Amino acid sequence: GIQVEQSPPDLILQEGANSTLRCNFSDSVNNLQWFHQNPWGQLINLFYIPSGTKQNGRLSATTVATERYSLLYISSSQTTDSGVYFCAAASTSGTYKYIFGTGTRLKVLA
Amino acid sequence: NAGVTQTPKFQVLKTGQSMTLQCAQDMNHNSMYWYRQDPGMGLRLIYYSASEGTTDKGEVPNGYNVSRLNKREFSLRLESAAPSQTSVYFCASRAGGGAGELFFGEGSRLTVL
């Protein structure tokens, strides 16, 4: 099945800094999604992005499907951005099996 | 709309007891999923149902059974709970057809003593 890897595993930033989180996947995908898990454990949908680029406020994401990776950019980080960021992907051969990466734990310091 | 609703939110079991986690969605989605998340870890897929009447194993199906009761509901059963099944369980749904976003419930925290 598809393997999903994320880097870095941990990240500490000062408020106002920018960051890039990476998600690599082992197979061709037709589904890719980024989530933020807040400190209360809720999973918040950030982007559904099997290919291309999307932006939502200070966050943007790019998926280069042919090279099997996706990037999440956080600009001007705020303390409320703290939490764990997950990507999840489903391959073209296993469309319904949505597999998660191990996450990037982000802490933004005031 | 409530979205994806899980019950119960918290449960404590003794080893060997059985229980069922319930999940219901009101978005008319075809596909539904059960994941578990252990402390400090990512989510692992237990079972999924691509459409009403079908279920398939995910990454970690041992020790669990599922039932897709109808289009709205997907339950997860632990027949004989073990301490290794202590985890937070998340249900999710997706419109289906091979594409679309996952939407998650708020999770059910299960402790097995």
A76-106: per-residue pLDDT in tens? 999 999 999 999 998 887 778 899 999 999 9
Better-scored residue on pLDDT, B97 or A37: A37
Evaluate if residue A58 carries a pLDDT over 80. yes
CA of residue A21 relative to chain centroid, distance? 6
A76 touches chain B (CB under 8 A): no
Does the bond joining B8 to the residue before it have cis omega, within 30 degrees of 0? yes
Task: Report the relative pairing of strands A10-14 and A104-109 from DSSP bridges.
Answer: parallel
User: Would you say residue B1 has pLDDT above 80?
Assistant: no
Q: How does pLDDT run across B2-57, given as a tens digit for each residue?
A: 799 999 999 999 999 999 999 999 999 999 999 999 988 899 999 999 988 899 99
Joined together, the tokens standing for residue B36 give 């578990």
Which chain B residues are closer than 8 Å to A1 by Cβ? 59
CA gap A33, A52 in Å, rounded: 12
Q: Which of A9, A10, A4, A8 is nearest to A87 (CA)?
A: A4
For residue B29, the distance in angstroms to the closest alpha carbon of chain A comes to 13
Which pLDDT belongs to residue A63? 97
